Amino acid sequence: MCSVCSFAFCANCNKTYHGTSKCYEEPKEPHKPEETSEDLLIKPPETDEGMRALMDDYSTGSKERLHLLERRYGRQTLLHTVEKHVSDKWITVNTKPCPHCFSPIQKEGGCSILLCAHCRRRFDWNLGPF
């Protein structure tokens, strides 16, 4: 054991202490990670059409259907994916990218000359950068 940092190591190989077993042994059989419930989940659809169908199914389905979808995709994954999809759609429809740094900008009214909150550069909403 190191007197400075208290790290326990093998005096022969200088790796983490491994007791009386040899410094290096070939694994006898490949290690298979245990299957968790997360490994059994299905990935949500990646296409707009598939996401729209999943959102419709999730929002209008019966309690049994909701439980089935949550078991299939995982509740947190399902909610996060649907929320992200809706958010991305909203950003696409309601914002324009800053012509300098490409951050999404929303115009809520007033003059068409805007100041990007991210890069602090001015641009005209209708024409682009100065």
pLDDT in tens, the chain (130 residues): 667 666 676 777 767 766 777 776 554 555 555 545 555 667 777 777 887 788 788 878 888 888 888 888 888 887 887 788 788 888 888 899 999 999 999 988 888 899 999 999 999 988 866 6
Give the dihedral sign, CA 74/75/80/83.
positive
Residues linked to residue 105 through DSSP beta bridges, in sequence order: 96
Give this prediction's pTM.
Answer: 0.45
At residue 121, the pLDDT reads: 92
The whole-angstrom separation of Cα 106 and Cα 79 is 25
**Beta-sheet strand order (sheet of 128-129):** 113-115, 122-124, 128-129
CA dihedral 30, 33, 35, 37 (to 10 degrees): -170
Residue 52 in contact with residue 60, Cβ under 8 Å? no
| Closest by Cα among 58, 89, 52 to 73 | 58
At residue 120, the pLDDT reads: 92
Residues linked to residue 16 through DSSP beta bridges, in sequence order: 9
What backbone phi and psi angles, to 5 degrees, belong to 105? -120, 135
